[in-house]
Chains A and B, each alone.
Chain A
Amino acid sequence: MTWTIARKEMASNLTSYKFVIVLLLTVLLTATSFFIMHRDFRQRTADFQITRPKPGEPIALLPPNPMAVFAKGLDDAMTRSFEIGVVGITVRAGQSSGNIIYSFFPSPDFLYVVRVVLSLVALLFGFDQVSRERERGTLQLILGSPISRARVLFGKWLGNFLSLSVPFLLTTLLGIAFLLFDPNVRFSTGQLGRLTLILGLSLLYLSFFLILGILISTLTRRSASSIVVLLFIWTLLVFIIPNLGTLLARQFVSVPSVRALSEKRQQTWTREVLLGTKSRDWASHYKAISDDNDRMEEDYRGKFERLVRLSRDINRVSPAAGFLDAASEIAGTGIGEESRLKREVIRYKNSIIGDIIANRATSNKNEEYPAFRYVPRSLAEIFAQGALFDTAWLVFFNIICFALAYWAFARYDVR
């Protein structure tokens, strides 16, 4: 019986104007996003070929992550060239794009499409599920047959979820197939597994918004008011809470700004070099610079990680933020991965800085250093460090909304 309801939902969706619009949005956006982000990835790969360090150079540089096509996240920051010298780690300038307009608007990757646009689409599927049937009088007819309200609700969810996820999955799979044809984009089997996880997470996320829509439509008598409430909840969850949350976290954790750190560093090294030109004891001055920088870095990393933790905890009120965090961590472009990469770069620097200083002090030009190796976190680590919580949180949101929807629907006056 549930299946009959689901089929009825799908059939009525298929013929509706709403479905045409939604289908258009999904297909258009997913395809454009794949195309554009793929191009972006190829360009960055070409840049990587140019900057790739020669053997023996003390440079830490990662190739662009193909998963960035789906979740761009912090991949730009992670694929910078970190060069180790006597004064510590410097970033080679010129790796950012010259087009300032990029920094005005977020990049339209797959995650953006799902998180912002498709969540709205899921709401549009759910917003009039109960109120419209009541307005038309068909709800009375359905409930007139011997079927429980729970089954009706579940059938509605299933039918709409399928009519939403089938076109979504189809276009996404087509997009992935398109990527697989490009020899430059090489996914490992592990990454394909991660992609499946991201898709699963996306479905869970979309399902949440669908149920939320059904829930609000059972709480309001008219579909016109249901859509108003839903649109506002949507802006709150998708935009306002995550973006205000980080701002709120900054009020509680004071983190020195990037500028302050860089000024401090400049002061340290110019001071030590000035003193060095007098004493000629370069090794000890280089050491002083490196120690000072290390102290500052240690302090900053600690504070920054506290800020990230706090803002994550605040943002988790919104499933959109949790979804973004979990999916980008799984893709390997999230904040956690970026912090870890930086820690690894610092460790790499610590392992060779002694040699660099010694070679510099004796003007040895033919030094060679071990290459930088970075192994991204395994899925188990990623899940242990928050993604599992985020996923469970999404499941919880789904269940709680479903329970509330059931509770509201059971008490619903169908007249």
Chain B
Amino acid sequence: MFLARVVGTVWSTVKWEGLEGMKFLVVRPYHLADLSSDPDAPPTGAGDGVVVADILGAGVGEDVIVAYGHAGRMAVEPELAPNAKPTRPIDAAVVAIVDKYSVNVNRKNK
């Protein structure tokens, strides 16, 4: 899973029929350099947008948590029975809309 900022939306008319009505967003993952002023942090990569499915109703400018793979498919089919297999061809989805986050890169804890 990763933390990301919603930067846009995607819409299409020709699509797999099970995806009717589903919203797709473009998100930009946060890198270490975005979250801290740590001089050791490598520079942020440019142009690494990810298209994700969303049923929680996230909007542009909000921070979200995105899950890949099986967890992402489960997130867009909440009505699914336990142990039933997800059916939609989805690889990444919003699983939470972030209220707040705290970051402290310098803290030592042994």
Q: Do A and B bind each other?
A: no
Tell me the B residues contacting A by CB distance below 8 Å.
none
Tell me the A residues contacting B by CB distance below 8 Å.
none
